[in-house]
A = this chain, B = another copy of it.
Amino acid sequence: MEKSDAKARILAVAEKIFAEKGFDAARVDEIAREAQVNKALIYYYFESKASILEELFRDFMMEMMHIIESSMEDLFLLDSDEKVRAFFKSYLGFWDSKKNILRIMMMESLKESAPDEPLFKIMDMLMKQEEEKIKAMLRKQGLHIGYDRMEGLVSDFFTGLMPIFSFVLYKDEWAAHYGITETELIDKFTNVFLITHLSYHRYALDRLKPENE
């Protein structure tokens, strides 16, 4: 039940072109040309241009779900700075590999007329998973589960995910604009992210400790 060659090509090319010029500026003709299929074939596999986008999103969500369920180690249990940095960089790499779909998603979600916000769906998937880890960790450390869940969410979204997504999406242009190599940029961002975002987790944790009150 693999996707046919042509269909897969259409999806791949559509993803690329949507990312390049945005959904609305993308042309079905161009997708057909680059995917080397007859334009009508696109409509054999998809109801409309919009439904290509939907399938792209759906596929991505499915993949995300599987990945999140199966792996995604716990950032906060890594026991050395080195390990934390290494893990974070591989995490960045993961999102970097999803760059195109991420870009499309963000462009679409910025429209005020946008629908149910796939961005939030990702967030929810990510959080459900993290929550369990945090709970487990807290239990191990003998702490009560009393943290401010909503604030955690706010932090993870706006000062966690958003910096990471924007980094992935802007890093190339940034590197070019400010004359810095990608490697250096990744290093600096890693520094900065670990200091900023992780300081929230530290803070949240501190708030829970009995001797802290």
Report A's interface with B, CB cutoff 8 A.
19-22, 24-25, 103, 106-107, 109-114, 117, 119-120, 148, 150-151, 153-155, 157-159, 162-163, 166-167, 169-170, 173-174, 177-178, 180, 184-185, 188-189, 191-193, 195-197, 199-200, 203
Instruction: Answer whether A20 and B113 are a contact pair too, CB < 8 Å, given A154-B185, A196-B196.
Output: yes
Instruction: Specify how many copies of this chain sit in the oligomer.
Output: 4
Pairs across A and B, CB under 8 Å, 10 listed? A21-B24, A21-B113, A22-B110, A24-B24, A117-B173, A120-B173, A151-B188, A151-B191, A157-B170, A196-B199
Name the prevailing secondary structure of the A interface residues. helix
Given A117-B173, A120-B173, A177-B117, is A112 in contact with B19 using a C-beta cutoff of 8 Å? yes
